[in-house]
Amino acid sequence: MRLPWSFIFLFFTACCSEGSDVFELGDSDFDQGTAGHETMLVEFFAPWCGHCQRLAPEYETAATKLKGKVPLAKVDCTVNSETCERFGVNGYPTLKIFRNGEEAESYDGPRTADGIVSYMKKQAGPSSVALLSGADLDSFVDNYEASVVGFFSGDDSAQLAEFLNISSALRDSYRFAHSTDLGTGLKHGVDGECVLLFRPPHLNSKFEDSMVKYTESVLIPSFRTFIRDNVFGLCPHLTTDNRVHLKGSDLLTAYYNVDYIRNVKGTNYWRNRIMKVATQFQDRGLSFAVADRQEFQDELEEEFGLGLSEGGEIPIVTIRTRAGHKYSMQEEFTRDGKSLERFLEDYFANKLKRYVKSEPVPVSNDGPVKVVVADTFEEIVNDPEKDVLVEFYAPWCGHCKNLEPKYKELGEKLSGDPNIIIGKMDATANDVPPNYDVQGFPTIYFVPSGQKDQPRRYEGGRDISDFISYLKKEATNPLILNDSRDEL
């Protein structure tokens, strides 16, 4: 008997990937391997890539959890360059979603196993689930995530067509379902075409409605705004996977032992106390969330200097603004919520001192290159009378180490110029001001006197002559160099 190609391929893949649930594809079998699946996630990687190595165990775990639902595959670009070039891979790892063998979109979701699983489950099957009964509706909304459900008069509804378009565009962020039988939603007050947004049952609280109704046309942009503004509710559970959707707002977060799997009651005990206070301040431009302290411990230590011993079972509270300003509540969280009220009142009255991570101020700072720490940034870099060239570096950065002797020599050449400062700041040990974009090292800015709110990124060469040429053009006053002592 002649076996079909699909069977041969699956058998071959299983043999080649023994012990792994991630399919291995290459130039010779990529098209056949992806064509046989409605939805597939493919990682394009290089074995030497550190980011790929860190992703590997998460990707493998996700593949196991998604087995039988959404297949995960990988392509080694060091030996399959043709395929990687065909799909425009120019960095590692690159993840793409394929549908029936065709590239559909880039994967922009989390890089953790649970995040990949959650994201790809939304990619599998239809973007909106068809509900045929009230029981189907109850089953769909009984989920760990929020649910957006549309009710329409029939299959030919223009509203339904647009709803399906929107669900396809937003499927990676939200869960969608629809029904063409208005009676399906009768117990929820559905008496005409509308959309209901159901919040997760485990987050139901007396302080907000568990369901929100949208009765306007889904054909207008306000529908997407409705979803965005209501899907998380008054006080969502912040995780490392969903945090991307909560960016862009000033956010108060209460960190404690949040566990909605084993301790729902205990978790909501504190959340309800936070929500009670949040209702008094919810219209003042501040969002609220709860988060598990263990999940964010590294970040709490790095950004707020808060260790595991801080707070114990009691929530510790921080505020992070869109502008990058940070605050932490110093008073212990009280069960009546009064301490949180006082903290928020002081925040809105601008009475709180910002938290700034800073190295100690140097006892002596007389070298040719001034050491800048967060606590002295205002004094040194924002000195209104001085031009400042400041380097943001990392101690482990090889490029920074190569620059160091040249940068020091530059400082020595300009050490006799009273109008200019050559400075450096360890950006891993100090908070960088929000108006400085430091994504890599070294990053150098020129900050002219009288224009401290307009730092200019230095994009020139790294030789001393390059710096001198730049400063001759940009400095407020003529340079005074030590080797000539002449004004240039």
Q: Which residues are catalytic?
A: 49, 52, 397, 400
Instruction: Pull the structure tokens for residue 176.
Output: 């969608």
Q: Is 388:420 a contact under the CB 8 Å cutoff?
A: yes
Q: Is the dihedral of CA 340, 344, 346, 352 positive or negative?
A: positive
Helical spans, DSSP H, in 36-133: 50-65, 81-86, 113-123
Q: Let me know: does 75 contact 42? Beta carbons within 8 Å.
A: yes
CA-to-CA distance for 254 and 319, rounded, in angstroms?
9
Question: Angle at CA 422, nearest 5°, toward 416 and 427?
Answer: 160
Give dist(CA 162, CA 233) in Å, integer.
25
Residues in the chain: 488
- Please tell me what DSSP assigns to residue 451: -
What 8-state DSSP symbol labels residue 182? Answer: G
Residue 418, C-beta contacts closer than 8 angstroms, at least 6 positions apart = 480
* Alpha carbon 213 to chain centroid, angstroms: 29
Question: 20 in the Ramachandran plot: left (φ > 0), alpha (ψ -120 to 50) or beta?
Answer: beta
CA–CA dist 430, 426 (Å, integer):
6
- Radius of gyration of the CA atoms of the chain, in A: 28
